[in-house]
Amino acid sequence: MKTRRLGALDVSAIGLGCMGMSHAYGGQDEAASIATLHRAIDIGVTFLDTAEVYGPYENEILVGKAIKGRRDKVTIATKFGFRIAPEAGDGVDRMAGLDGSPANAKKVADESLKRLGTDVIDLYYLHRPDPAVPIEDTVGAMADLVTAGKVRHLGLSECDPETIRRAHAVHPIAALQSEYSLWTRGIEEAVLPTIRALGIGLVPFSPLGRGFLAGSVTSTADLAANDFRKKLPRFQDDALAANARFVAVLDRIAAKHGITKAQLALAWVLSKGDDVVPIPGTRRIERLEENAAAVEVTLSAADIAEVEAAVPPDEVTGARYATGSFVPRKPGATP
């Protein structure tokens, strides 16, 4: 597997988003998830992404089990930044608000280390900026964790340019995680130039449009009863039907190259620079291997232009999230 650099951190050129193994998309059998994680490590997909809130807690525990005895082969990224309600309920319903306080940054790091079964987190992200806490205070506490040897590198997720610059002034930020794919390109105008100027890498989550660009979701009937995509505007049946034309065109382009729609969509993301490391999520070994093979796909400038023309972002039907979700609202942030 090729490698890429996020700030001062070297990682596999494509990572694995672990969230769906135990959160948001219905989950799966633990043994099957661990088998997929082990296969990822075996083929060099060693940049593993998890978070406290996935489950909550369950995903970090799962990843910790999978990397036992293999810790030196993987790069572990995890995140903090939410208040989690103590009452029973699924992980999405237990998100009770944002908490970017210094105390929470340090508390969650200690708890994540225990769940992951390790003594250091390679990349520790602020999951969402907390408007009630100055970013300088949050990143200052994260920097203390680096000094203490509990964290190696710092990251941010879904931040606007001003917040990124202020955070980076406190301590070097290695990576920004943000949604980025053929149908979600809001970071290109202001966020991407900002992080490039600062030497910060980009970690696109949902690079396959939460499965839509791979053709795995054509109606709400394809989603499990507890799949959180049912709450997203883009995954309502009318929006799915309106956007289906994009997938049809991607299918035709992919066929010309002898690759799958998923590989084409990932190759497009990968083509955006050596500082871009997508983390497609999957629960299945065959999809993992399919995604990893996208690293070997080379697109010409003409290919890239054709793919981009096939999915004009301003023609996509439906917003990323419903109103009131924990997403950035400042100018320059992704909608």
Q: What amino acid positions are annotated as catalytic residues?
A: 54
DSSP 60-113: HHHHHHHHTTTGGG-EEEEEE-EEE--SSS-TTTTEEEE---HHHHHHHHHHHH
Cα–Cα distances (Å) from 101 to 82, 91, 121, 138, 169, in that order, read 10, 21, 19, 6, 18
Q: Is 299 exposed, middle or buried (0-12, 13-18, 19+ CB in 10 A)?
A: middle
Task: List, in order, residues 6 or more apart from 306 with CB less than 8 Å away.
Answer: 253
- Residue whose structure tokens are 């135990």: 22
Which letter does DSSP use for residue 181 in this model?
B
Gap between the Cα atoms of 273 and 311, Å rounded: 20
Structure tokens of 27?
């989950």
Tell me the helices (H) and strands (E) count for the chain, helix number first: 10, 11
Cα 320 to the chain's mean position, in Å? 14
Q: Are 233 and 239 in contact (CB under 8 A)?
A: yes
The 10 Å Cβ neighbour count of residue 301 is: 8
Cα 188 to the chain's mean position, in Å? 17
Gap between the Cα atoms of 224 and 236, Å rounded: 14
* Peptide bond just before 56 cis, omega within 30 deg: yes
- Residue whose structure tokens are 């969230």: 19
- Residue whose structure tokens are 């964790």: 145
> Which residues on neighbouring strands pair with residue 246, listed in sequence order?
none
